[in-house]
């Protein structure tokens, strides 16, 4: 799980950097962000499915 979490964090950082640099538009950002959200939820251990908005 820790390796997967690290990959997801790195992908989120890269995605945010692409958005700040105007390499992708908001719609693409949100679509890819949602895919990362689902990947993160799928990687959680059973019983660790609390979603916290930030």
Residue-level pLDDT at 19: 97
Residue-level pLDDT at 4: 85
pTM of the model: 0.75
Alpha-carbon 39 to chain mean position: 7
Which 3 state secondary structure label does DSSP give 15? helix
SS3 content of the chain, % helix, strand, coil (to 5): 70, 0, 30
pLDDT in tens, 1-52: 568 889 999 999 999 999 999 999 999 999 999 999 999 888 877 766 566 6
């Amino acid at each position: 799980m820790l390796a997967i979490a690290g990959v997801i964090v790195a992908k989120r950082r890269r995605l945010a950097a692409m958005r700040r640099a105007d390499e992708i538009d908001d719609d693409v950002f949100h679509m890819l962000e949602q895919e990362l959200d689902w990947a993160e939820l799928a990687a959680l251990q059973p019983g660790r499915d609390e979603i916290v908005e930030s």
